[in-house]
Structure 1
């Protein structure tokens, strides 16, 4: 692997992947919608080439795929789909159709290795069960974002069936945190809100918490050692929200909210937030889609790391380390 192409390069996962590849001596072509944002994220790093482009127009950057040994696809339409309202058209355009266009353009440009960022959204199991890669989710039990990720995987799998000379593997992250969250993502915004002490209380739910740097490692390992067509979980640690905010308090010294917010209270808040979002045209801080997902996925966030550990060598750093580094990065950037 001498040259890699990374989509979503300025995002939380993408920028950590870019840095890991550069550390390993791999030249990187980094796709970014904004050169200014990319330069803010990376500065001037030897071996990095910024490719301005948008996943809504794969043809516009397709020529830059030629000569690459592998494409890492980390870009996705995610945060906006939980900001209130309906987003299926854009979810399909970016997560499904653009993925199909990307792998086809990569193949046409001579690339034969494609690493796709899937999601824990594509698997499911009973509450309390240990979920592995074989436990695929029923599409009827999926919100629009989850459905888009399932269809995104499907278009890559279809391409593999039609092109036996092409290699692709899938890495499935959980709720990613870590340094480099310039966006910020919803995860990073949660951390910022915690530090600013604007959280009204501790919401319910359980999560699969993972460091974006560990997911980046899994992506590179999948390119080097993964098996064709296989899925690999990189979901991290199962944790309940009350336990997570205790870790935030220990690491940051900022007291955790004392009030517990039951799900019954979240529904009317989400309704009000969506009304405000429609009026102001700003994303809802808490949407109905978020509450539905939080409720549906509670105690369905225990994921079996055995396959990724045994085949790719993936391990997960402690949550305390991730939060400490995430907070330090935000403070260094004067974002809090």
Structure 2
């Protein structure tokens, strides 16, 4: 890191008043692609860090203000040169295969979700980038229920090994806090780097090319590949609304301040019902007690291992679903301070269905739907 802090100049503004030049990591992911589209719509010049340029050209808009940089988020030198001149970085890249892929790479998870965060912050300071928006998760919060929803002041839980993804996000937040404290100690209050944090709920919506756990569930329900799910629920949020929070945080988010983008809580049965209604295919999975669902996930993992395929569900993913049934959070700060709203579930699912159908990932729609 350089000995002199970068200038703390105001962020350059695009046509909407937001940052003018922005680098986006994880740009072909569900959230990253939504951030890219939001920035372009706002008149910003966007540099997208991608691992595969050909795939990125297929997934991202063909836009004169979009530049692709081939790089690896875990290898800063592959894209550090692109940081120079940026008004902001929106960091969406993350490793989350634990939720649907047993035998995942824990070393890669830590390198992507924790180590790369600190390295990016150091590179941003060296390149005089004034703002880095970090994407965390509502899963880091230690508590929050119907009677007392969690908010940005809710302390984080312990970084235990029952959920490696959550543990990595908790550690990443510590890295950011320690890094900011170190800069303040060296350079004083005006240390020239602002790092607001965005904590999304369970993201759904168009652009889920991965697909994420949400996209996998969407397609499994639409294709009739999953017959039962636990009686549970979770906070569902449209990735495009999370992108709006990220862009607004880049413009006016407070340094070190967290912004929850939780959307609304929905029963899993209602989510699957909307998938069936929007696609005209599949059938809503029947409800299972929690203990039965965990046993089923164990069987599915074992079958997938024998067949050398990825399972429809994993024990970790099922455990997260069951935890979401109890968790409640408030997005009031993002609504109040960043002027953000959230789409209704039916719009998100309908748009996601249209996106999958346009990419020929859904069978032809049948007449009528089967809502259980």
TM-score when normalising by structure 2: 0.85
Partner of 2:150: 131
Instruction: State how 1:110-189 maps to structure 2 within 5 Å.
Output: 110-128=128-146, 129-139=148-158, 143-163=163-183, 164-189=191-216
Provide the rounded CA distance (Å) in 2 between the counterparts of 1:280 and 1:90.
25
Match of 2:20 in 1: 2
**In structure 1, C-alpha distance between the alignment counterparts of 2:111 and 2:336, rounded to whole Å:** 35
Structure 1 stretches lacking a partner, 5+ long: none
What CA distance in whole angstroms lies between the structure 2 residues aligned with 1:332 and 1:203?
30
- Give the aligned length: 335
Q: What is the Cα-based RMSD across aligned positions, in Å?
A: 1.8
- Corresponding residue of 1:288: 315
Aligned twin of 1:310 = 336
> Cα distance 1:34–1:86, how it changes in 2: closer, same or farther (>3 A)?
closer
CA distance in 2, matches of 1:165, 1:45: 31
Shift in alpha-carbon separation, 1:280–1:93, aligned structure 2, 3 A:
farther
Instruction: Pick the aligned partner of 1:44 from 39, 42, 62.
Output: 62
Q: 2:288 aligns with which of 241, 261, 272?
A: 261
The answer to whether structure 1 residue 16 and structure 2 residue 34 are counterparts is yes
Matched, 1:197 2:197: no
Give the Å deviation of 1:79. Answer: 2.6
Q: 1:281 to 1:149 in 2, by over 3 A?
A: farther
The reply on whether 1:213 has 2:240 as its aligned counterpart is yes
Alignment partner of 1:319 out of 341, 345, 352: 345
Pair 191,11 (structure 1): closer, same or farther in 2 beyond 3 Å = same
Q: CA deviation at 1:184?
A: 1.5
Matched-pair contact (CA < 8 Å) for 1:55–1:98: yes
Contact preservation (8 Å) 2:53, 2:68: yes
Alpha-carbon distance in structure 2 between the residues aligned to 1:246 and 1:277: 26
1:241 aligns with 268
Indicate the SS of the match to 2:22: strand
Question: Aligned-pair distance for 1:268?
Answer: 3.0
1:270 matched residue in structure 2: 297
* Contact 2:301–2:311 (Cα < 8 Å) also in 1: yes
Using the alignment, how far apart are the partners of 1:179 and 1:86 within structure 2? 26
1:106 match: secondary structure: helix
Deviation at 1:263, TM superposition (A): 2.3
Shift of 1:295: 2.5
Larger Cα-atom Rg = 2
Residues 287-330 of structure 1 deviation map (CA, whole Å, 9 limit, x = unaligned): 12112222333221x21121111111111011111011100011
> Any idea what the Cα deviations from partners look like across 1:265-284, whole Å, max 9, x if unmatched?
22333223333444455433
In structure 2, the gaps of 5 or more residues are 1-18, 184-190, 363-372
Q: Deviations over 1:31-66 (max 9, x none)?
A: 111001101102521111101111121122111111
- State the 1:23 CA deviation: 1.1
Shift of residue 214, structure 1, vs aligned partner: 0.3
Q: 1:255 to 1:183 in 2, by over 3 A?
A: closer
Question: Does structure 2 retain, via aligned residues, the 8 Å contact 1:62–1:105?
Answer: yes
Structure 2 contact 197–259 (Cα < 8 Å) conserved = yes
1:51/1:86 Cα in 2 relative to 1: closer, same or farther (>3 Å)?
A: closer
Superimposed CA distance per residue, residues 248-274 of structure 1 (whole angstroms, 9 cap, x where no aligned partner): 344333464362222222233322333
Query: d(CA) in 2 for partners of 1:270 and 1:52?
Result: 37
8 A Cα contact 2:201 2:262, kept in partner? yes
